[in-house]
Structure 1
Amino acid sequence: MILWVEQWRILRAPGRAAYMTPARDALLAVKLKGDPWRVEAFYTARSGGTNTAALWEHTVEALKDTARRHDQTVQLVAANRRVAEHYRGKSPGLREVGVKRGGQVVLQWDGTPDVSVGG
């Protein structure tokens, strides 16, 4: 199913959503099933050549607001510590809550309930 929310395209599958820029050059994948909700992947068509700030600001802030209304935790999985620091610079209030096997860093926004970090 494809839905439009303002200018952002949302691709939905059971328990998942993907938010894409109108130019179709960046995609943010989110797991919405269970607790926590988790931003799992952020893809761009061209490294450094894609304007992803608007996609990040629009979708992540809307996701956090919706999660708070539904008393859900929102976490973000970063590929490594360098990427985690980049995400923390883009979104104040992110804090590390764990490290998964393979070095993926799990971040969580302040003000959302703590949940365990699975391997």
Structure 2
Amino acid sequence: MAQRPIWRGHLRLALVSCPVALYSAKHDRNTIRFNMINPETGNRIRMVLQDAETGEPVERSQTVKGYQFKKDHYLLVSDEDLDSVRVESSSVMTVDKFVEANSIDPVYFDASYYVAPDGEAGKDV
């Protein structure tokens, strides 16, 4: 199966722009993902949400996100909280200038990516 891009947009160099796709350079093709299957019916299994202490079922609509900051202590985070800190996404990657690799602090080298032509522009390559 072909690797899927993690981002699609346009690469802009001065006045020139072209459609591109961004791929993670670290892709383990040997990774296999399994689904849980009921062997009697061959159907996939749904996971049921339940309270960890009481064992009572919980509706997905009644759940909230929580960040564990200490054992058994959670900071509840609402969708509104996440929306208020969300970074605005962009579909344009602008290259302002090129720099020497040794001028960048290695702390920023946590992942590597490939940029490839996308859409009709990529079919001619």
TM-score range, shorter chain: under 0.3
Q: TM-score w.r.t. structure 1 length? A: 0.18
Asked which structure has the greater CA Rg, the reply is: 2
More strand, by proportion: 1
More helix, by proportion: 1
- The structure showing larger relative contact order (alpha-carbon pairs under 8 Å, at least 6 residues apart) is 2
